[in-house]
Amino acid sequence: MSLNLLEIVEKADDIHHLIINGESKDPDSDLKYIAEKIKEIQSVVYQLANIYNSCKYITKNKNVPNILPSLDEWTRVSGKYNSPKLVSRESAPKMIVKSCDVDDIKDVPNTNLYFVRNIGQFALRINNVVFRGNVGDIFAHVFGAKKTAKLRQVTHCNNYSKCVRNGVLCNFYHDPLKLLVLSSKKFETQRRNFTNSSWLYAPTKEGCRSLGNGSSAHTDINLPQHDEQLFRDQCIHQLLLALSTPSSGS
C-alpha cells in the first residue's frame, strides 16, 4: 500500500465532502477508489487475522513448532514477502527448478518437518512436492548378484491388493499411504530399505544410482518411475538423518 490508513481515511473524507456538496468531478472514479481501498484493507485484515491466529496457537502450544499462516504462501503484512514469485532458475546445466528470490539468508522462511500420525511417516512439502518417509536400513549388496532373502523392503511391492487381502505383507516395501487407501486394517509402518549399490552413481549399471551428477543430470533425468521413487525415498532418508544430527539442534 502506498498510502497509510490515516491518509486513506482523510482522502475518503475529502471524497465524501465533495460528493455531498455536488463538487466531485468524477463521482464514479471516486466511488471506485473507495471500493478498491475497502478491498485492500479487507485483505490486510484477513492476513492479520491469520497471523494473529497462528501466533496465538504457537503461544498456547509452546512445544508445537512454529507454523506459518498458510501452507502455500507467505502471508506477511509488510508487503516485503507478499505473493512471492516463483522464478525458474538453472539448478544444474540444462536443469530448471522454481524458487523464490530473497535478498538475504535471513529472509528465507522456516519450513517445518512434520510427522503424519495416520501413516507413521515424517513429511515436508517443498514447491508443493511432498517428501515423506522414514529412515531405512542399508543392505550390503553384491553387484550383479540376485537379490537375496535377506534384502527386505528394498523395493516397492507390486501387488498391494494381494498382500492386503491376505493380511500378510510380503518382503517388499508397502507405502503406508497406499495401505491406508486399500484397507481399514492397521498395518505396522515399514522401513523403506535400500541396497548400498543404489547409492552409487553409475548410470549404466543396473541397480545403481542413475541421477546424481550435475553436469549430466539433463540426460540422466529420464528415469523409470521406480528409480524416481527411489530417488525421493533416498532424499527423505538422507534429510531425516541430516536433521537428526546434534549440530542440527536435535
Per CB under 5 A, residues contacting Zn ion are: 157, 163, 170, 172
> How far apart are CB 47 and Zn ion at their closest, in Å?
47
Query: Which C-beta is closer to Zn ion: that of 172 or that of 231?
Result: 172
Neighbours of 210 (CB within 10 A): 23
What's at 30, amino acid-wise?
A: D
Query: Which C-beta is closer to Zn ion: that of 56 or that of 226?
Result: 226
The partner residues of 116 in beta bridges, in order of sequence, read 121
Instruction: Report yes or no: 37 and 8 within 8 Å, Cβ to Cβ.
Output: yes
> How far apart are CB 150 and Zn ion at their closest, in Å?
17
Query: Which C-beta is closer to Zn ion: that of 119 or that of 240?
Result: 119
Query: Which C-beta is closer to Zn ion: that of 75 or that of 121?
Result: 121
Which residue has its beta carbon closest to Zn ion? 157
> How far apart are CB 152 and Zn ion at their closest, in Å?
11
Query: Which C-beta is closer to Zn ion: that of 8 or that of 163?
Result: 163
Q: How far apart are CA 109 and CA 84, in angstroms?
A: 12
Cα-only R_g, the chain = 27
> How far apart are CB 196 and Zn ion at their closest, in Å?
23
Neighbour-count burial of 47, counting CB atoms closer than 10 A to its CB (0-12 exposed, 13-18 middle, 19+ buried): middle
3-state helix vs strand vs coil in the chain, percent to 5: 40, 15, 45
Which of 114, 77, 81 is CA-nearest to residue 1? 77
In the block, residue with C-alpha cell 463538487: 23
Query: Which C-beta is closer to Zn ion: that of 156 or that of 232?
Result: 156
The partner residues of 129 in beta bridges, in order of sequence, read 126
Tell me the backbone φ, ψ of residue 51, rounded to 5 degrees. Answer: -65, -40
> How far apart are CB 139 and Zn ion at their closest, in Å?
18
> How far apart are CB 228 and Zn ion at their closest, in Å?
20
